[in-house]
Amino acid sequence: MICQKCGCQNADNEVFCRKCGALIEDEGLDQWFDSVMPEQKQFDFNALIKMLKPKKKVKNWVIILAGEVLLSVVLLFSLFQKVTGRFSAEHTAEHYFVALVNGEWEEAYSMLELEEGEFTSRKAYDICCENNSLPFITSYSIQKENQVGTLGQDVTVLYRERGTSSDTAYHISLNKQPEKKYIFFENWKVSAGSLLSKDIPVTVPHGAAVSIDGIPLGDTYLSAVENSLDFYSIPVMFAGKHQIVVSMQEMETVKEVFDTNLNGYSLDKMQISPNILQKLLGQAEKDLQSIYTAAIQGTPFNKISELFVADGEKAAEIESSYISLSKELADIEYHQIEALDLTSVAGEAYASPEDEICAEVDVSFSYRIAYSYLDSWEEVRKKDTCDGEDELTFYYVPENGKWSLGNLGCHSLYY
């Protein structure tokens, strides 16, 4: 085979020139390809389909089983989605609201995020719910409000009362808890923040016993004592209406409902019980006689000082008034009272309108004075009597477990 490029003689079966390496273009090239390449046959699609076709027919139970597995997966996924929804913030809020409406307060309390205390206990919550119960509700709907970051959710319940034509909103705030429920599900608690009031002031007369919803306020809650008043402060309690009871010996017990949203509770004065007023009226009649008798006889003040208050300033003022009265009634130089007879003693006792706890007793009476006097003309002592009427007022205040006079009351008698 001669190379067409350089003219070198090559063997018949050679493809490339052995001298210059050029491709020898000749009919032998086709023969070479036929010798080194196998015969290419046309692709048989029918054979491929036959090869892929299963040799054995799939049984019906396999198809049915595969379908059931697929259906189970779908159902499980749907169930998981539904169960997850039951642990959502909206569902928790709805559960809480329905519990309140149905009066299931133990269930509602268990859903609160709350630190339990004396005024935030389960019992306190029950009382709060009773005092602030929801009306009769015919329908409601849940309205999702704001997502408070990733840890909180606000939900509004729109409800309609029976007999009304407008919706009322009830707001519920929820906080997501760090621990999961049943490993997989979100755990939401109803925030008690909007349900609580803090630092509630309570003011009552000094020495009065006070309780709220049956819980006594002791020294733990006492913050100050000023101007005959005791000041209490409750750090935290359920907001709304509560019953307060204030009692003091010989005073009428006060039972009222107060609202924590109205700046706490204040009672400056208590009313004296009718029985005590009647008792003080009888005591005034005795004190009237004792004071006049002692003054007429010139008895020192310390002998009757137990009738009066022990307060230093007031006691000194009363003593000064008594000494003046005694000098007027026991003047023996010209007139000498030998007997004093009090009759037709009557009176009325009532609570003083002043802020201080005090009972006023108005006493009216008739009297007859038997006395002797020196007749300057005859220079002898003569006896005579004098009849008269008078009235005065005693002021009684509670002190050391008894009622004491806060004034002298008695004044000079005309004769």
Question: How far apart, in whole angstroms, are the C-alpha atoms of residue 190 and residue 90?
Answer: 11
DSSP string of 21-58, one letter each residue = --B--STHHHHHHHHHSPPPPPP-HHHHHHHHS-SSPP
* Window from 143-157, 290-304, 341-355, 398-412 with minimum mean pLDDT: 143-157
Question: How far apart, in whole angstroms, are the C-alpha atoms of residue 191 and residue 336?
Answer: 84
pLDDT at 33: 43
Say yes or no to pLDDT of 49 above 70. no
Higher pLDDT, 40 or 227: 227
Q: Is residue 182 classed exposed, middle or buried when 0-12, 13-18 and 19+ CB atoms within 10 A define those classes?
A: exposed
pLDDT band at 375 (very low <50, low <70, confident <90, very high): confident
For the chain, percent of residues with pLDDT exceeding 70: 80
Best CA proximity match to 106, nearest among 81, 126, 83: 126
Cα radius of gyration rounded to whole Å, the chain: 54
Q: Is residue 21 classed exposed, middle or buried when 0-12, 13-18 and 19+ CB atoms within 10 A define those classes?
A: exposed
Average pLDDT score over residue span 21-37: 53
pLDDT at 194: 84
Query: Amino acid identity of 264?
Result: G
Q: How many residues make up the chain in this entry?
A: 415
What interhelical angle do 274-297 and 312-329 show, nearest 10? 50
User: Does this chain's domain 86-195 share its CATH topology with 274-405?
Assistant: yes
**Residue corresponding to tokens 């005092």:** 131
User: 319-336: per-residue pLDDT in tens?
Assistant: 999 999 998 887 666 678
pTM above 0.75, yes or no: no
Question: How far apart, in whole angstroms, are the C-alpha atoms of residue 195 and residue 299?
Answer: 66
CB atoms under 10 Å from CB of 331, counted, come to 11
pLDDT band at 200 (very low <50, low <70, confident <90, very high): very high
Best CA proximity match to 360, nearest among 369, 368, 373, 349: 349
- Cα 202 to Cα 72, 74, 209, 240, 334: the distances in Å are 64, 62, 12, 15, 61
- Kindly give, in sequence order, each residue whose CB lies less than 8 Å from that of residue 75, ignoring residues fewer than 6 positions away: none
Domain ranges of the chain: 1-40, 46-83, 86-195, 197-266, 274-405
For CA atoms 380, 381, 384, 390, the dihedral sign is positive
Say yes or no to pLDDT of 108 above 80. yes
Average pLDDT score over residue span 106-135: 89
Class of domain 274-405: alpha beta
Say yes or no to pLDDT of 35 above 60. no
Higher pLDDT, 179 or 18: 179
**What SS3 class is residue 350?**
strand
Best CATH choice for the domain 86-195 from the list 3.10.450.50, 3.40.50.10800, 2.60.120.620, 3.30.450.40: 3.10.450.50
Q: What are phi and psi of 2, to 5 degrees?
A: -85, 130
232-247 burial, b if ≥16 CB within 10 A, otherwise e? bbbebbbbbbbebbbe
Partners of 288 in the beta sheet?
Answer: none
For the chain, percent of residues with pLDDT exceeding 90: 46
User: 146-195: per-residue pLDDT in tens?
Assistant: 666 678 889 999 999 988 889 999 999 999 998 887 777 889 999 998 88
Average pLDDT score over residue span 248-261: 90
Say yes or no to pLDDT of 67 above 80. no
* Window from 75-89, 201-215, 322-336, 367-381 with minimum mean pLDDT: 75-89
pLDDT band at 29 (very low <50, low <70, confident <90, very high): very low
pLDDT at 53: 58
Mean pLDDT of the chain: 83
pLDDT at 127: 85
Question: How far apart, in whole angstroms, are the C-alpha atoms of residue 245 and residue 267?
Answer: 11
Angle, CA 25 vertex, CA 24 and CA 31 arms, to 5° = 95
Best CATH choice for the domain 197-266 from the list 1.20.1630, 3.40.50, 3.30.160, 2.60.40: 2.60.40
